[in-house]
Amino acid sequence: MSDESMQESLKSCVDELVVLDTDTPLLYLGRLTAVDNFILTLEEADVHDMREATGSKEVYINEARHNGLQRNRHRVFVRLERVISLSLLQDVVQY
């Protein structure tokens, strides 16, 4: 996928609640508000450190989808190079 088509795909998610899985212990959930070549911006975000969690990422994400986000940041900037995957929260299959 070219950088340009990736940017277009990411921009199609702007104003949606998303889940960002990163190559760090941090998991990000929030409303994607901006995309550029290096940074994704989330607002009203839940930044969750999985080192402090008792369950898996999937359990945390499912709980967030069911119960709503536990917002702890008004705005957070995430380096695009650290993102492994992005999905819409509504696309998470509940179990």
DSSP-derived letter for residue 15 is T
Residue 68: its pLDDT value, please?
93
pLDDT means per 10 residues in the chain (95 residues)? 78 95 96 96 96 87 92 97 95 86
Residue 1: its pLDDT value, please?
65
Residue 9: its pLDDT value, please?
86
Amino acid identity at 58: E
Residue 94: its pLDDT value, please?
81
pTM value is 0.91
CA proximity to 42, closest of 63, 66, 22: 22
Residue 55: its pLDDT value, please?
83
